[in-house]
Amino acid sequence: MTTALYNPLACNGHGRENAAKLAEVLDEQISFKDIRETKISDIPAEDKIVICGGDGTISRFVNTFGEPERDIYYYPAGSGNDFTRDIGENGVILLNPYLKNLPTVEVKGKSYKVLNGVGYGIDGYCCEVGDEMRAKNPGKEINYTSIAIKGLLFHFKPANATVTVDGKEHKYKKAWLAPAMNGRYYGGGMCIAPEQDRLNAERKLSVVLMYGSGKLKTLMVFPSIFKGEHVKHKEMVEILTGHTIEVKFDRPTALQVDGETIKNVESYVIKSAVVTEKEKELAEAK
Ramachandran angles phi, psi of 68, nearest 5°: -70, 145
Q: Are residues 58 and 197 in the same domain?
A: no
| Domain final residue, candidates 99, 117, 150 | 99
Mean pLDDT, to the nearest integer, of 107-119?
96
Mean pLDDT, to the nearest integer, of 130-157?
84
Q: Are residues 234 and 133 in the same domain?
A: yes
How far apart CA 77 and CA 92 sit, in angstroms, is 11
| Domain final residue, candidates 99, 115, 138 | 99
| Domain final residue, candidates 82, 99, 116 | 99
Residue 17 makes CB contacts below 8 A (sequence gap 6+) with none
Mean pLDDT, to the nearest integer, of 92-99?
95
Structural domain of residue 61, as residue ranges? 2-99
pLDDT at 278: 54
How far apart CA 117 and CA 101 sit, in angstroms, is 14
State the CATH number of the domain containing residue 142: 2.60.200.40
Q: 34-43, 225-234, 245-254: which has the minimum mean pLDDT?
A: 34-43
CB-CB neighbours of 34 under 10 Å:
13
Q: Are residues 175 and 233 in the same domain?
A: yes
Q: Are residues 47 and 156 in the same domain?
A: no
Counting residues of the chain whose pLDDT is more than 90, the rounded percentage is 64
**Higher per-residue pLDDT: 154 or 95:** 95
**Structural domains in the chain (count):** 2
